[in-house]
Chain A
């Protein structure tokens, strides 16, 4: 683990905050690393003594203290200040014992003692200074990493757009940065505490935590406690946006890890980042709802104004035909009566489609349409639509061009059928009787199937290509009473719900082309058509009538 542990054998450069003193110092310390450091320090002094002995024999006696100072610097830059002090003491003693005459005895002359004392002061100062530098380097490193963790969390959270996702990302980022367990608790509107949200979703709060969270929010400052049964040290840092606090970020670590100032600062920094992100998403949601409401309002008035015309026209035809039949039916020739009844039938079909589209649009707006996709061959649906659209197309020949080996497509059959019916309905509205209509499907890439509805009508006016998909929009050539222009908007909504796109264009050789894609997402299921060929070999045995 790269993260320096707070119990590294170094002194904190500043006084720990009293509130957290207990956590950072009272924890039982097991120090395998300090034992090794002491052994290494003793070894270093021994080596320095050896080198000093060589120097003395090379007539370089004056450099012996320098050798010791180098050893102390080396010890202090690797181990903590306490080991550095030990090394300094050992060095002074060794120097005095081995090198200050009399050799192999401690000096007694005041002058030599004074020298030894001076050397001790130098050794101590050098040792502690070096150890301190080492600590500062560690702290700077740790702070840089914490700053990076905060920036990373802020970046990750900036991409998130849902409130619950903010909380999950926040928990996982915090847990990773602090090497502990983390979750976020958001107070309910009435100030009560429910479940927390961890990296994987909801987590139940251990007993007592809810009260601590409420306290942290109330105080506007981090609350810190220990849990003896789980051997954990916990911090709850309040989340506050522009207004009052709305929750807390809770981080749980092993007691042996404890909490020091940087750890706590990181928790508080994280809490600020999380609060900002949560606030942003929440406000965006509010703004979006307001926008949606005003759009819904505009739509509603557009709908009301078109309803009076476009719904009442077929109703008027139906009422007229029905009353005529009822009042004068006996006097009318059979052919006339039949034609009046068929008139009613046609208008009812139109009303039925209109109602279906209105319902779909409402459900699309509410996000209630979730395609229940199943892998299926497209020709099945195109066939059903072809059978049902004869009355709609009123004699326009329909050419179905769907290759038998088209891959299976994951779609909601009922919805895609509505898309095709609406597109054919649109063709019927805008093309002269008798012109050909083509439904064509192709799989140009392994990732999608493209379906086209092609006509030989007048095509789309320039500038209309995108506008046709707007709600309550009718083509300039539309005859009155031909629907409120919902059909294509519904098509686009359904295709989008499938993850595809719907576009319109003019065909180079005349007519309009509506084209939608259906993505082949996910692994396709095993296609039994491959087995069909094999099975055909066996059909002489069974099912052949012998």
Chain B
């Protein structure tokens, strides 16, 4: 299963999800009041030590930082040129620390707990007719649809390659989406046929 969660039983795993999220939000906001690079760099090192304490799989997760590197480097360079290198280190270390801390919460919280903790934020969606139960169903559908869509795409891609010998183009997407929407309607009909909708 695709998941950001690492199973384990550390103190971070045992802490309730909502508490972790509230602490994370507080810490993240607090970081903006920290001036100077030293405390922030110390924070980054501290966070990395927590990763190390969580074990090898946690450390391996650090490679997910790669997509962030270009933007962090650009930010560092822009800051360095504008306000000097101390400001650059401060900004980059603060951002890195924010993400490191947040990823700690993600790694130590199972998806269901996270759902329960975040779902109250989506309560206003009731005005669109999306109550908690519908959101849960939609969530499950997304998780189920993703691998299905990827399989379906791969089939189309292979067929395309076999016929053209080239990389797939965007032309393949339109009929894919048309077929997917028909599939969605069939899924909806089966749900209703099984009494999902209240009459």
- A-B complex is real: no
Q: Which residues of A contact B (CB under 8 A)?
A: none
Using CB atoms and an 8 Å cutoff, list the residues of chain B in contact with chain A. none
